[in-house]
């Protein structure tokens, strides 16, 4: 077994963990799915492209025998998280899930939780101008919306857009003032997002609160059974070094 740690990344937490491992003198390989055209790369060695599901990752683990795997992918990367759990269990590789907490509503928030993108589309069908901030994947669930839809993503979606879509290609983070100005400019009536958590994309929720706008949040998919979970980079680093 090697001393290398495999970090399944693409998130800010994954980049911070990779930097902490490099600083601690621990060999780290970060794996990015390759779904973003120009990703922000972490410190240390980087691998871009998937493993080919659970079987491909299991084969990689059998060949390279890392000391541990940390799944620090996005909270909605359910397929990768499931593959990591299955592959690590197959070879007895220690696995940790690093996942930031979801958002918590506060005074003045008008949040409605739904179970899927399809449910979110149904919830805003007659809502007027929709600000869709769920990312490029799954946009097709909103293709039948009849009204105006402001779609923001880092890269152009591959799926069909609503007939009344306005595509905004931009990479955050954004300030509260920027988000509020955007919502006013486009006459947004409702915001749709995923419960990603973290501070990087929270400004839209604060802006919606200030403007009195409702927000539809898609709940996170459940995690595989038996996987240890931490919520901070510090906890993950402690788990690896112990």
Average pLDDT over residues 169-174: 90
Whole-number pLDDT of residue 238: 96
Residue at 208 is within a domain: yes
DSSP 49-87: S--SHHHHHHHHHHHH--SEEEE---TT-HHHHHHHHHH
pTM for the model: 0.85
Same domain, 53 and 116: no
Residue 226 lies in a domain: yes
What sign does the dihedral 161-162-168-171 (CA atoms) show? negative
Whether residue 119 is contained in a domain is answered as yes
Indicate whether 106 belongs to any domain: no
Please answer whether residues 69 and 6 qualify as being in contact, where contact means their C-beta atoms are separated by less than 8 angstroms: yes
Q: Is it the case that residue 180 has pLDDT exceeding 80?
A: yes
Average pLDDT over residues 187-195: 97
150 and 226 housed in the same domain: no
3 state SS of 189: coil
**Do residues 167 and 82 both lie within one domain?**
no
- Residue 19 in any domain: the answer is yes
Residue 198 has pLDDT above 90, yes or no: no
Cβ–Cβ < 8 Å for 15, 234: no
Q: What is the mean pLDDT of residues 147-151?
A: 96
* Same domain, yes or no: 116 and 188: yes
- Determine the pLDDT at residue 92: 93
CATH number at residue 119: 3.40.50
The phi and psi torsions of 203 (rounded to 5 degrees) equal -60, -35
d(CA 189, CA 175): 19
Question: For the segment 83-135, what is each residue's pLDDT rounded down to a tens digit?
Answer: 999 999 998 999 999 999 999 999 999 999 999 999 999 999 999 999 999 98
Do residues 132 and 227 share a domain?
no
Tokens describing residue 7: 């970090």
- The helix (run of H) or strand (run of E) holding residue 141 is none
In a domain, 144, yes or no: yes
pLDDT for res 183:
98
Structural domain total, the chain: 2
Q: Quote the domain boundaries for residue 27.
A: 5-101+221-241
State whether 118 and 78 are in the same domain. no
pLDDT band at 1 (very low <50, low <70, confident <90, very high): low
Q: What is the CATH number of the domain that holds 23?
A: 3.40.50.720
Is 206 a member of any domain? yes
Residue 63 and residue 121 in one domain: no
What average pLDDT does the segment 59-80 reach? Answer: 94
């Amino acid at each position: 077994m090697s001393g290398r740690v495999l970090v399944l990344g693409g998130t800010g937490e994954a980049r911070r963990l990779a930097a902490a491992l490099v600083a601690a003198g621990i060999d780290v390989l970060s794996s990015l799915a390759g779904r973003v055209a120009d990703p922000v790369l972490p410190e240390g060695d980087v691998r871009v492209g998937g493993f080919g599901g659970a079987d491909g990752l299991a084969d990689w683990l059998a060949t390279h025998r890392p000391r541990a795997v940390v799944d620090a992918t996005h909270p909605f990367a359910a397929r990768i998280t499931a593959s990591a759990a299955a592959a690590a269990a197959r070879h007895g590789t220690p696995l940790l899930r690093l996942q930031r907490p979801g958002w918590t509503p506060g005074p003045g928030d008008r949040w409605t939780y739904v179970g899927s993108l399809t449910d979110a589309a149904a919830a805003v069908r007659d809502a007027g101008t929709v600000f869709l901030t769920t990312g490029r994947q799954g946009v097709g669930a909103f293709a039948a919306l009849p009204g105006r839809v402001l779609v923001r993503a880092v890269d152009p979606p591959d799926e069909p857009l609503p007939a009344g879509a306005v595509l905004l290609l931009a990479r955050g983070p954004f300030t509260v003032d920027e988000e509020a100005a955007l919502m006013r400019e486009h006459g947004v009536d409702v915001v749709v997002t995923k419960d990603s958590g973290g501070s990087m994309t929270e400004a839209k929720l604060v802006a919606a609160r200030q403007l009195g706008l409702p927000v539809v949040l898609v709940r996170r998919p459940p995690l595989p059974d038996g996987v240890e979970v931490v919520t901070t980079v510090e906890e993950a680093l402690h788990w690896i070094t112990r």
